[in-house]
Amino acid sequence: MTEEPSDLDLAVARVEHELAGLFARIRVSWREAAVTVHPDLQPLGYQVLTSIATGKATSAGAIIERLQTDKSAVSRQVRQLEELGLVESVRDPDDRRARVLVATDLAQERVAAARARCEERLGERLRVWSADDLDHFADLLAALGG
CB contact set of 44 (below 8 Å; sequence gap of 6+): 67, 69, 73, 77
Whole-structure pTM value? 0.83
Give the pLDDT of residue 1. Answer: 63
Give the pLDDT of residue 122. Answer: 93
pLDDT 10s digit of each residue in the chain, 146 long?
667 889 999 999 999 999 999 999 999 999 999 999 999 999 999 999 999 999 988 899 999 999 999 999 999 999 999 999 999 999 888 888 888 999 999 999 999 999 999 999 999 999 999 999 999 999 999 999 87
Q: Provide the mean pLDDT of the chain.
A: 93
pLDDT digit string, tens, across residues 15-55: 999 999 999 999 999 999 999 999 999 999 999 999 999 99
Does the CA dihedral 12-27-55-121 come out positive or negative?
Answer: negative
Give the pLDDT of residue 81. Answer: 97
Task: Report how far residue 24's alpha carbon sits from residue 62's, in angstroms, rounded to the nearest whole number.
Answer: 25
Task: Report how far residue 76's alpha carbon sits from residue 50's, in angstroms, rounded to the nearest whole number.
Answer: 16
